[in-house]
Structure 1
Amino acid sequence: MNSKLSGKTALVTGSSRGIGRATALGLARKGALVAVHYGRDEQAAQQTVDLIEKDGGRAFTVGAELGTPGAIDQLFHQLEAGLREHTGEAVLDILVNNAAATTPGDAPEDVSAEQLDEIFAVNAKAPFLLIQRALGLLPEGGRIVNISSAVTRMAIPSQVVYAMSKGALDQLTLHLARHLAPRRITVNSVLPGATDNGSAAFQMPEIREPMSQLSAFKRLGEPEEIADVVVFLATDQARWITGASLDATGGSLLG
């Protein structure tokens, strides 16, 4: 157990699997107490907690389906109670906005208004509201990391709505980095490329092989490789980085 984040607390949204789970594990290994957020799958979130505790770390779950009415209040009610139970006070040092809704891969003309609203509600509106609410808990020198996407830097028409929502998240990073600098709170985006998040799709050769070719290394990324970047941004070593969009695509954007 590394102690770089000893005494720190963190909330990782969407941390029941994939990049979120790897990030929660990584932060816990550095000594942070981690609030593991889930939208619907409480059992998977508990599995993340179990993995953290087996590794010698500390964690607890918080559940709320982001993008739905009352979700932010629901999440923070649980978060503040959990923080007080484990530390005696409601202080949140690190916020990682990882939870996201994805598009089904439809052509732009086939996307419904309801799909558009849902994706923006989860990917752009919820992170804004989460940060807004977290500012009352974040101390001087806090950390905010937003998980964006490589699709904001390349043209994939079937992912246009997802890319638009993540582009909005990058704008949130940029403007809040300036706004929160007086409090020494850093705000950064991490841009993953094609990453094997354990979903069934990535086990299909017809999907896995072409996606692997996007990277300069000709393979899919692993969740831990993205998580390592996030964890770095959460430490004091990254205190001089803010407003940045870090390419974590394995060279997929080299052209």
Structure 2
Amino acid sequence: MKVLVVLLLLCAGGAYSDMSQDCDMAAFYLELGCTPSAADNSTCPQAFTCPDLHPDPTMCYYRGVAYKGGATIPESLVRNPCSMYCSCSLRDVTPQFHCVAVDCPEFFNSDEKEQCIYTYQPMECCPTAKVCGKDAIANLSTCEVDGKVYLEGQTFKKSHKTCVCSAQWNGSTDNPADCREVNCGIEIHYQDKLMNRCAPVFVNARSCPFTFECQTPKSKIIRGLNVRAADSECVFGNMTLAIGDELVADEPCTICTCQVPPFVTCIKKTACDN
């Protein structure tokens, strides 16, 4: 029985990894601890079921655990080497996490005359070494990923993971020595937005949100056509949208629609008439 349970968990983990890469909003929801709604004939979930992300407005929450003002999330749970000492703040009565951002030294030494590249390790925020000189750089192994070539020690993103090119790279992102899961830090950076039921804004709905759209007096809904005839709804502030409804966003060039409930999905267009 134990073997069967382990196999089922492994299969689910693989399925969730593929879902994060292939399905809009999946990575966002899975990071928040949401689960796909009842299976249907679709390849990607049509909706998710999320836990109560903020049951107590006087506390901060991260991965289902409540934190009082001043309490710090253990580093092992943050899963982002560039964010450290993330602690709960109740300033202005709005719960938020504040983290110490890591400043890497190479950001301040970009004017070196010698030709160098910085090399990384998967679980480190800053470079761990530097390779200088044309001959030394030419001797480094290379990795070709999605048509682009990376040198040994350089980083790239693939399948919702951050990877480092290594001499052993075989194209798979499953080796923890080469890759780690991308953690968007949604609950850490947007605690107050989640509590107020704002909508995540993406450039690509399979990546991390870069901001949130929140309800204002100008917010209004344009009713659309629910071609899926689904009962699931999206919540935006105190407004409710059916699948196919569009939300008029305050931010220019941003299109917000109810696609994969319960959150409204907003996409920031890289180019538009405005």
TM-score, normalisation: structure 1: 0.23
- Structure with the larger RCO, 1 or 2 (CA within 8 Å, 6+ apart): 1
Higher strand share: 2
Higher helix share: 1
Whose radius of gyration is greater, 1 or 2?
Answer: 2
